[in-house]
Amino acid sequence: MIKLIASDMDGTLLNDRKELPADFFAVLDELVKRDIKFTVASGRTYDAVAHLFPEEYRGKLDFICDNGANVIHEGRQVSLTPLDRQTFEQLIRACSDIGGLRVLVCTAKGTYHLDADPEFNEEIARFYKNHFPCKNLLEVDDTIYKLAVWDSMGTQQHAKPAIDAIFGDRLNVQVSGPVWMDVMAAGVSKGSALMKLGKILNISPEDTMAFGDYYNDMDMLRYARWSFAMENGSPDVKKAAGFLARSNNDSGVTRAIRQYALQEQTE
C-alpha cells in the first residue's frame, strides 16, 4: 500500500509553464484524508518551491530541498547537510579555473550569484525566489546548502567530469538538466533524504512512490518501490524507474497517483 509519495518539481510535477496540475490540490486533499504523505523533492531551495503552495497546505507537505541538503518535515527542519567552508571556497575557485561556468550559491537566506546579463538574471528569477547579485561569491556568509552550476558546453560532458576529477567522492555532483548541475556534500541526494523521511514516518521503500525526470532524481527512484519516470524524462532515468508516467504537460504525476495510490479509474 502506498503511504509516502515524493515528486520532483521542474519537468515532473510542474508543466513547462511552471504550473501545478489543475487537479493537484484536489488530489492532495484526498491523500491527506487517507493519511498518505506527499513530499516535494526539488533541487531548488525551500523558498523557491514553498511559495507555489498556499500557506494552509505547506504544513501538510514535506519538502526535500536543495537535492536533499535541507529537509523539512511538517514545517520543521529535520535534516541539514551543508557544504563546509573550506570545500565551498575550493569549489568556487575550481569553477573559476574551469572557465565558462556560472555559479549560484544556495543558502539558508537565499541564492547568491554574480551579476550577469539581464536574460540570465531573468532565468535565475524563474527558479529562485530570493536571489541576490553580488561581486564576490567568496564573500557569501551564510549556511551553504549547495551550488547550482550552469555550463553552456553541457554539464554531463564538461563541468561534471571536471569537478569530479578535482574533488572525487568529497562531493555529490548531480546533473539536473542539460546545462545545469547541483553540487552538494558527499552523501546528499534526494534518495538519502527520502530514506530519512521514511524512517521518521516509519514507512518502508515498498510503500513509497516517487516521480522524476532527470539524473538528480535517480537515487530517489531507486529507493522507492513505486518509481515513475516521466514520459518527457531522460532515457537513463526511464531505465532506472519501474513505471512510466505521462508527461509533465499532461498531469502525469496526478494521473499516476489517482490510478496507483487512490485506485481511481483513469483514462
pLDDT tens profile 48-64: 899 999 999 999 999 99
In the block, which residue shows the cell 491527506? 32
> What are 118's three cell numbers?
539581464
| pLDDT value of position 132 | 86
CA 248 to CA 254: how far, in whole Å? 10
| pLDDT value of position 187 | 95
pLDDT band at 266 (very low <50, low <70, confident <90, very high): low
SS3 per residue for 184-214? EECCCCHHHHHHHHHHHHCCCHHHEEEEECC
Last residue of a domain, one of 185, 202, 224: 185
Domain membership of residue 267 (yes or no) is no
pLDDT band at 267 (very low <50, low <70, confident <90, very high): low
107 in the same domain as 150: yes
CA 163 to CA 158: how far, in whole Å? 9
192 in the same domain as 118: no
Our count of domains for the chain comes to 2
132 in the same domain as 99: yes
pLDDT (average), residues 130-149: 92
Helix (H, G, I), strand (E, B) or coil at 73: strand
Judge contact between 53 and 21, C-beta under 8 A.
no
pLDDT (average), residues 92-117: 91
Judge contact between 15 and 22, C-beta under 8 A.
no
CA 201 to CA 28: how far, in whole Å? 18
210 in the same domain as 157: no
Check residue 59 and report its DSSP letter: T
| Kind and range of the H or E run holding 162 | helix 160-167
Q: What pLDDT, in 10s, does the model give residues 20-36?
A: 999 999 999 999 999 99
Domain of residue 109: give its range. Answer: 85-185
pLDDT band at 125 (very low <50, low <70, confident <90, very high): confident
**Residues with Cβ within 8 Å of residue 76, at least 6 apart in sequence:** none
| pLDDT value of position 124 | 78
Whole-structure pTM value: 0.91
151 in the same domain as 198: no
211 in the same domain as 174: no
| pLDDT value of position 126 | 75
192 in the same domain as 237: yes
pLDDT (average), residues 106-132: 82
239 in the same domain as 123: no
Q: Are strands 243-245 and 180-185 parallel, antiparallel or unpaired?
A: unpaired
